[in-house]
Structure 1
């Protein structure tokens, strides 16, 4: 079982981990101060603990004790013996008669909790740890007296950790039959392990008939493996091979490796592995697919073609008004010098390419720094969306004639700065979604060396700018455009309508990203900017100096927004949009359970700012014919909402070789890997998938 959480406030994360470290030190110090305390120092109010005994001891036999941990509320969790990247395992001491030996505690299969790239091995809810005791052969089992002891452990939420301890006294009772069934049994056969390069390979004897919904190996050896790294599983007959990246901080080589193999449904087995040969090859069962990067020349063509097709993709529709006005005014260049038209084409292209390369470079830098971000990360930032909202409102006001700003009215004759600015804006807004050919190129760009990756981003921009560039360099194409005239001003006013609709869409998006109060403050900012631009327009028409007045009027609204927006921003994700399929929310655990059901699974990733995603949902996914076909075939539907940055979704997209959304995956029953569907869907394509299964 896996759970991933992301907190947007680094300070909160730092405090949580510092508290966990402090609590760990406190526990360690308490253990050294005295062997078995007479009373508890911290108490067990957050996770209560009780010691149970299974009947009476038998001389020379094994007597089973059990520690039952019960959190006071669902937010608290405890830890496995190896807590992972943070936390503290249990420290148990028992007062046993002479000749009695305390065995290794036996745990149930732990769960995974990933916070900001750090993984913990935890238990949520009530859990029981079995404690075997080897009774001495000459032990007095008639009246051995009550077994007492002391236990120290850590109780944590996602934001705070506190040390806990309790003085124990054995009591009879408890549901040992159930507790034994919940504990991970030890495999009879010995596993084998080997270190190959920077990875640990463990060959675990496991019948091929055992189902693995979401396998994960919990290594008991501390600081041996990278806990949060993806694990790969292969089958060779009745042997399961797990491949786990090693921890860069490990010291020395392990003589033995032990742990728990979780199957993904709460069940699992314990194993002990000795050094030995690990089989090669085998069938991939789970984990990241081997990344095969296509030849660079195919990626170059894909990036160029993807950028070219982006001009007709729905993602570009919001800024088509800018492009349409640019193409209309290009007719003015008919009588101008040829060099002017070419210069404007180059200026526009430079703006597009610079924006694509800049976004790509920032994306690569953030990922190199450990951030889980993907293509279109800029539209997951509420502040960026507010800036785009203000810009879209200003462009709408310019188109409507509220004020004059030549740099926003891009033309082919004399306004090179405007052409460059339009290129920047076009690329910034148009590139969030991925289209045909583009997905493979961008996915590969995240894996290639930096120079090759930036080349692909530049070619993507060149493809996007190519139509406008051709207009500047091919006079025959410019002659096909309508001749300039009075109609152009009317056309410009008409273009204010789609640009205004874009601004309204951005208002809605600010609400989705930051909440209603955040959207209201952003709307107040827009009103203030528009008011300032209206005053600028009046001063311009009277021939007076205008822009100082803009600064004077807009400044209070800008200051208000700078103060208010961070304080009202809500970090919680908005509720998932309604769908006729009633899909499950994506998580690794939910996907594993759905695949284990034996039914086909349709998983799609979307975002509120992705126009292509919404078009596909409208024309293909949200159709009654598709719903009926899915219902008849028993298809499990699942959706991942990437509107707000989600590290679990970003990591999954990367595993699938995708840099952004949309992404559509079809899991056939029993298939080890999904089929990636096209990024432009049709109802027939989806209903056809059901007939193949």
Structure 2
């Protein structure tokens, strides 16, 4: 309870400090005027004003250095908005000020709405038709505002003076520049609705408008949690925002604000109560991403972990042994390691580039999208069967042989392509954040993450190639190497069986039988090619026959129908955003998990933590709804939801506690009690109230 109250206490202290500073500013006029202005304020008038007409005035703020910033009308958790006291002649009125879109500044967990650098606020000045004014008059006012750095705040007081001409006049070029920086008003009202703890806001924006990473600034004070994450969905010509409400905050009948788009421009809106649409395509803001260097490290570690996968470890092992077989010549070892690394990195960049290009074209795809295509699974199955036959000695692949000469650079490059292709469908520890960030970062930075993933996969073999001490510790070549090679056929054979099971899940027994028939033909052709290799005869005819068989398989094998959802012990329902929203509106706990039949980590977690009677009992006792998102086949809704959650693949496990603004994310690798302990935890714990991550 004490931890949950810390943000509220800090927020109250910020408001009290701002009020105290404002009081000091008003009462200590002489002192404030005596010190240099950290942010100077100057009043300007656009031009003459005619009786019954209007002109515009602006207050331009100029900080003395880049470290100082001012505040929007709603300063956020701390700070003070500008207040102006006017001394107006009879018949003269000044309307409300319009502001540029502010920026967010997060300090110590408090979110401030600030302006950095020069900025101006603009307001209309009107002269009544019957005003007793027929000559230029002086406009006078006093502005109280706050100037802050990251460490200190100083109250400011500016005496505003300007002469207003009376008559007709043209627009000022300087005011055109001021106006272009303001948040443009929307021509239609937004709509809003309240849930128990969330403000839902529908802002009318054309669907074709690129919003980038938006942020909504609510003008009403003491209403929302400023530092809490905002979520966005695109629903046709409406941009739907969800913002956590402040505890015991106000619930006004009307509200206004500014939405700042990703390019820095802003749109001002007024909102009225109404229906806010549900569903739509999630938009991830990217504002909560870790530093890029941390993402690079995560991608590198994630690629390194992939080397222990059963489909990659045999390739890595045989490549290391082929390097040992080559005799340890320094230059050749380094050249071979670099060729292998180049193949791995190239494959990761190619897969990442295709993924980014498809998403830029409007396709809802994520990492491992290739495994959602039955044709790609067929290719992987035939490839795994061929590699198993190779490890058993049926035929040789140049660059991987351990019975002949050393590996060639060209063969090592091809082996790198192969290793990356069979490894990248997996999403292991460290990879989720990096690959999720790659979907929202600019494409050069995203490709950097994919390259780091490839470097991580290639790193062990790269180290072997460049560190002689490691190569010297490798066992000496001998007959045992052929035995080891045959043993490596076991994990590769298990990979083949796993892909066969996936084929069965995709299309049933009849579809699997067709693919198996082609696989038998492929292995037979490879055996004939191996016989020709051992007899020193050309194996090219068999290679051409193999390519033709594979092409015929891809063209003739029909597309399987979508499989029926299998039952599980948790009595789960298919995931949908609507089902999730309805359960949360009913204040019911929800456990959401995303899986795929081709995801090894998912299947291990289901066996260890999910498909257990104790887990099912704990969820039933908590009256939790279980939603299961099956991503085995392509599903745009699931892809969009994963993207909004900041991940690019599965598994993903989320726990929505009743009344919590954000879900708790469970680890990617579950322990037997991960879900049980979460289901039996008391509602309203600090982690659940803040939507924290249980990692």
The interval holding the TM-score normalised by the smaller chain is 0.5 to 0.7
Q: CA deviation at 1:626?
A: 2.1
- Matches of 2:660 and 2:520, distance apart in 1: 54
- Matches of 2:655 and 2:380, distance apart in 1: 35
2:287 is matched with which residue? 291
Q: CA deviation at 1:368?
A: 0.7
Answer yes or no: is 1:353 the counterpart of 2:345. Answer: yes
Q: CA deviation at 1:223?
A: 9.7
Please state whether the residue corresponding to 1:605 is helix, strand or coil.
strand
Answer yes or no: is 1:394 the counterpart of 2:386. Answer: yes
- Matches of 1:420 and 1:221, distance apart in 2: 48
Q: CA deviation at 1:346?
A: 1.1
Please state whether the residue corresponding to 1:318 is helix, strand or coil.
coil
Counterparts of residues 117-516 of structure 1 (less than 5 Å): 204=191, 211=196, 227=236, 231-234=240-243, 235=245, 237-239=250-252, 261-262=275-276, 291-312=287-308, 316-333=309-326, 335-409=327-401, 413-516=406-509
Q: More displaced, 446-455 or 233-242?
A: 233-242
Please state whether the residue corresponding to 1:533 is helix, strand or coil.
helix
Q: Could you tell me whether the CA contact under 8 Å between 2:366 and 2:639 is conserved in 1?
A: yes
1:620 is matched with which residue? 609
- Matches of 1:529 and 1:362, distance apart in 2: 28
Please state whether the residue corresponding to 1:639 is helix, strand or coil.
strand
Residues 574-632 of structure 1 show CA distances to partners (whole Å, capped at 9, x for unaligned) of 22233211211100111112223323211111111111111111112222332222222
CA spacing shift, 1:569–1:543, aligned 2, 3 Å: same
1:588 is aligned, of 577, 580, 592, to 577
Please state whether the residue corresponding to 1:231 is helix, strand or coil.
strand
Q: How many residues align?
A: 465
- Matches of 1:220 and 1:290, distance apart in 2: 20
Q: Could you tell me whether the CA contact under 8 Å between 1:302 and 1:438 is conserved in 2?
A: yes
Q: Could you tell me whether the CA contact under 8 Å between 1:199 and 1:244 is conserved in 2?
A: no
2:559 is matched with which residue? 569
Q: CA deviation at 1:426?
A: 1.7
CA spacing shift, 1:596–1:514, aligned 2, 3 Å: same
Answer yes or no: is 1:668 the counterpart of 2:668. Answer: no
CA spacing shift, 1:489–1:616, aligned 2, 3 Å: same
2:631 is matched with which residue? 642
- Matches of 2:604 and 2:523, distance apart in 1: 31
Counterparts of residues 518-557 of structure 1 (less than 5 Å): 518-552=511-545, 555=548, 557=549
Q: CA deviation at 1:653?
A: 0.5
Q: CA deviation at 1:496?
A: 1.8
- Matches of 1:450 and 1:222, distance apart in 2: 23
1:688 is matched with which residue? 677
Q: Could you tell me whether the CA contact under 8 Å between 1:613 and 1:662 is conserved in 2?
A: yes
Q: Could you tell me whether the CA contact under 8 Å between 1:600 and 1:667 is conserved in 2?
A: yes
Q: More displaced, 214-223 or 603-612?
A: 214-223
Q: Could you tell me whether the CA contact under 8 Å between 1:605 and 1:661 is conserved in 2?
A: yes
Please state whether the residue corresponding to 1:603 is helix, strand or coil.
strand
Gap runs ≥5 in structure 2: 1-181, 210-233, 262-266, 683-695
TM-score between both structures, scaled by the size of structure 1: 0.60
Please state whether the residue corresponding to 1:569 is helix, strand or coil.
coil
Residues 82-131 of structure 1 show CA distances to partners (whole Å, capped at 9, x for unaligned) of xxxxxxxxxxxxxxxxxxxxxxxxxxxxxxxxxxxxxxxxxxxxxxxxxx
Q: Could you tell me whether the CA contact under 8 Å between 1:211 and 1:263 is conserved in 2?
A: no
2:76 is matched with which residue? none
CA spacing shift, 1:589–1:205, aligned 2, 3 Å: closer
Gap runs ≥5 in structure 1: 1-194, 248-252, 266-285
- Matches of 2:387 and 2:654, distance apart in 1: 38
| RMSD of equivalent CA atoms | 3.7
- Matches of 2:187 and 2:401, distance apart in 1: 60
Q: Could you tell me whether the CA contact under 8 Å between 1:308 and 1:464 is conserved in 2?
A: yes
Residues 192-248 of structure 1 show CA distances to partners (whole Å, capped at 9, x for unaligned) of xxx956989956575x5x55899685979999996176511335732487999999x
Q: Could you tell me whether the CA contact under 8 Å between 1:205 and 1:238 is conserved in 2?
A: no
CA spacing shift, 1:552–1:609, aligned 2, 3 Å: closer
Answer yes or no: is 1:599 the counterpart of 2:588. Answer: yes
